[in-house]
Amino acid sequence: MFSTYTEFVQTMATILFLMGLISLGTGIFILTRLAIGNNVRVIAEQTAKLAQKGIAEDVAGLVGNASALLNALNQMVRSSSGIGIILVGISFALIAASYGLVLQIK
């Protein structure tokens, strides 16, 4: 399959670089989708209005449920951004590894 060590290392470096690019693209997509995602913002605004209405009308259960929904939305946004940041970090590591392999070729 590979006739020389150099071809093998070049193939490995290319594969690592492509995996890094795919990971980078996925991470950036997740982060931008999170920033652009109007659905989460609309739900948070409506929940805040619902909580205010519940406070004004002394409906304790409504306020408690609205608070739980806001906490769940907050956790969802944190986990999504964390996944995006981890993917970007992994992509930099893969690209650096491919660069290190290319430097080994002589």
Where are the alpha helices (H) located in the chain, listed in sequence order? 5-36, 38-56, 60-104
Mean pLDDT of 72-85: 75
CA nearest neighbour of 90 among 42, 7, 23: 23
pLDDT at 89 exceeding the cut of 80: yes
Q: Summarize the confidence of residues 90-98 as an average pLDDT.
A: 94
Instruction: Give the per-residue pLDDT at 94.
Output: 94
Tokens of residue 75, six digits: 């956790």
Model pLDDT, residue 50: 67
* Average confidence score pLDDT of the chain: 80
Ramachandran sector of residue 23 (left: φ over 0; alpha: ψ -120 to 50; beta: rest): alpha
Q: How confident is the model at residue 97 (pLDDT cuts 50, 70, 90)?
A: very high
Residue 90, Cα to own-chain centre: how many angstroms?
Answer: 11
Whether 19 and 38 have beta carbons less than 8 Å apart is answered as no
pLDDT tens sequence across 27-70: 988 888 766 666 666 666 766 766 666 666 666 665 666 667 77
